[in-house]
Amino acid sequence: MNRLLEEAQKNITEALMWLGECKGDPDGSSLRFNLWRAIESLDYATLLMSLRFQLTEFYPEVDVKQPADRFQALRFVEETVREALKHLKTDPRAAYKLLKNCLSTLRALREMV
């Protein structure tokens, strides 16, 4: 596997870990920090994907989901990131678009916190 793809996969997996930390924080004391870490991991993964798969000129239409509550938003993002991870090798363009949607939702959630 290509080094960039391996690093992207590692960062996506790391983002899932940070999302899990967000869900396990009932009082929200470290929620903002964990959201920041998840966003940074996904941002870096999408950068690596754009370099590996020549997606630098691909600007997917992003569906900004305004989260109703943080748990619903985190569940949506976690499921979508897992889906993107499945498509990483077979359909990187679709995975890239899914991750960009997750990033927009996470950023909206971070602004609510």
Domains plus CATH for the chain?
A: 3-112 (1.20.120)
pLDDT at position 54 is 82
Structure tokens at 50: 């754009």
pLDDT at position 55 is 75
Q: How far apart are CA 40 and CA 33, in angstroms?
A: 11
Cα torsion 80, 93, 4, 86 to 10°: value is: 40
pTM (2 d.p.)? 0.87
List all residues 6 or more positions away from 85 whose beta carbon is below 8 Å from its beta carbon.
Answer: 9, 12, 13, 16, 95
pLDDT tens, the chain, 113 aa long: 589 899 999 999 999 999 999 887 767 778 889 999 999 999 999 999 988 888 766 666 666 666 677 888 899 899 999 999 999 989 998 999 999 989 988 988 888 87
